[in-house]
Amino acid sequence: MQAELFVLRLSRNSGMLGLAGMAFTSQVFAKFPDCSGEASKAHGIVLVRPLLEFSKEDMYNICRGVNQEWVEDPTNRSPLYVRNRIRISLNSLSTSIFKTELQGVISECRRTRLLVDKLCCKLINEAVTIVPHGYAVIDLETLNPKEVKDICLVKFIALVLQFISQKHRPVRGSASKLLLDYIRNSPCKTCLTVAGCYLCPAPGSKGTKIIVCCSVNSPFPPKLELFEDFTYEGHECFVSSELEQIIASGIAYSDKFLPDASNLPFMDITSSVSVLTEAKRLGILSDSTHRSIVSLQKEESENFKSKPEIISECETKDDVRHAGAPPSKSIYPGQVGYFMNRFILNWMGFRKMSPNISSMTEVVGDKDLVVEGQCCSSCMIDHRMGAEVRHMIDADWIYLSNLSKLRNMENFQQQIHSKKTISCSEHAKLSAHRVLMSLKSIPVAARKAMPVLVNPQGVLLSIPGVGFTHCPCLMVSAVFKPSIPLGGGHSSYL
């Protein structure tokens, strides 16, 4: 299986890390994060592939040896599928020397991947800060990118971008080169949009820190998915501590076999062609094995190149279809939604208006929640219409700014505190004044990726990430919790 994948990825011009093949163990995460227990942790499950090193012929022989019948998909022998074609070709070439030499190259790639993953984990822990408003800050002085090998630096920045954007396609080709040049150009003085993210110098850092935000300049509309009831309420993973122990044991085991960079022949190599060339130079591959692998690579590369126009045409049609779609789904009181696989939105309902409300910070217990009708006579929020969720835009900032414009805010606050009740408009002014100060501390690009709730007329109702609400009764929260954690979760190539 690993040999087939190696040739397949060679034909797709994968880098050295891609040639390492499948991980022996990898962590898999649910579509929705676990909202119970520790909010900062995503546990998932650990997928183990114990038969990864066995070929298809090995599996046949094992079954025959114990007289075990097996069931096989008939399409496994069809040459229409690339894996089958590669498997058939490999079977015709698979002398013991060929198998041994090919496995030797794959093993070196896996050993290199093991070290690169470990180094990237260390760099992430030391140089990356995740901000609850949904963006990351990379400290360039701590990272010292000019001293980090290309293969590690590309992997490091790709992991950060994949976490922030929650788009898990590999960053490769021209995008990878752009990122490498950008992060090495320290101090940072320019901005860059790539791989679903927007990168820019952190304000006040003099270019020593980079902010990584989710880019909202996409042809696709914002996505809001509603949690199933059982997913959110009381659904806990009771095996999380056991899972953590398994992962910790796996890491400790891998660390025992962690190679030294000086003993890895492919540590300074990024392209697949260079891997084969270096393997031949070092004697890992003989001339005949090298020729056979290159021949397979070229054959499948030609098959792959014959299809791009059809694929790109489909992708273009898909983009056009989605570009005119509605901005988002609606959320209603009592519902929990997942926005862009990044923010958990919880509309807990409405507070009942208390006769003694004297400030917007009053805490009301769960028994005072209601979800029927409008929460007060002057409120523009109606649960029957729900609210749409979208990203924050410049018009929202202007709206808040205009809302909070008062000649004397201090006098206004004193007047409000002397009252027995507070209206929605008064609450909105106080809330806008307070929130504007919080928003000023958040970089503009990061603000634009934050979720906001608007009514059907487009009027801003809430920015739950910073606590703005148009009505004191409205109870909505937003928690930054991407479905896939930073680093992509545990994996091992041993």
Give me the sign of the Cα torsion angle 142, 145, 146, 147: positive
Amino acid found at 468: F
pLDDT score at 129: 98
Q: What is the pLDDT of residues 129-139, one digit of tens each?
A: 999 999 999 99
Are residues 259 and 110 in contact, defined by beta-carbon separation less than 8 angstroms?
no
pLDDT score at 74: 86
Amino acid found at 288: S
* Average pLDDT of the chain, as a whole number: 83
The percentage of the chain sitting over the pLDDT mark of 70, rounded to a whole number, equals: 80
Going from N- to C-terminal start, the domains of the chain cover: 2-311+485-492, 353-472
Query: What 3-state class would DSSP assign to 351?
Result: strand
Cβ neighbours for 12, distance < 8 A, ≥ 6 positions apart: 18, 301, 304
Cβ neighbours for 272, distance < 8 A, ≥ 6 positions apart: 9, 10, 13, 14, 15, 16, 18, 19, 297
**DSSP-H helix ranges across 238-286:** 240-256, 272-281
Amino acid found at 301: S
* Cβ density class 67-87: b for 16+ within 10 Å, e for less: eeeeeeeeeeeeeeebeebbb
* Cβ density class 42-58: b for 16+ within 10 Å, e for less: bbbebeeeeeeeebeee
Q: What is the pLDDT of residues 298-319, one digit of tens each?
A: 999 888 776 654 333 334 333 3
State the DSSP H helix or E strand holding residue 290, giving kind and residue range, or none if neither: helix 287-305
Give me the half-sphere count of Cα atoms (radius 13 Å) on the Cβ side of residue 437: 5
Chain center to CA of 22? 19
**DSSP-H helix ranges across 306-393:** 308-323
pLDDT score at 53: 85
CA 447-199-203 angle, to 5 degrees, is 65
pLDDT score at 103: 94
**Crossing angle between the packed helical segments 2-11 and 272-281, to the nearest 10 degrees:** 120
pLDDT score at 39: 46
pLDDT at 415 > cutoff 80: no
Query: What 3-state class would DSSP assign to 433?
Result: helix
Q: What is the pLDDT of residues 363-411, one digit of tens each?
A: 333 333 333 334 454 455 665 678 999 999 999 999 999 988 865 556 6
State the DSSP H helix or E strand holding residue 147, giving kind and residue range, or none if neither: none
Q: What is the pLDDT of residues 54-77, one digit of tens each?
A: 888 889 999 999 999 999 888 888
> In 3D, which of 351, 338, 354, 355 has the Cα closest to residue 473?
351
Q: What is the pLDDT of residues 211-262, one digit of tens each?
A: 999 998 866 678 899 886 544 444 444 456 788 888 899 999 999 999 999 9
Question: How much is the pTM?
Answer: 0.84
Strand ranges in 177-305 using DSSP code E only, listed in sequence order: 192-194, 197-201, 209-214, 224-226
pLDDT band at 151; cut points 50, 70, 90: very high
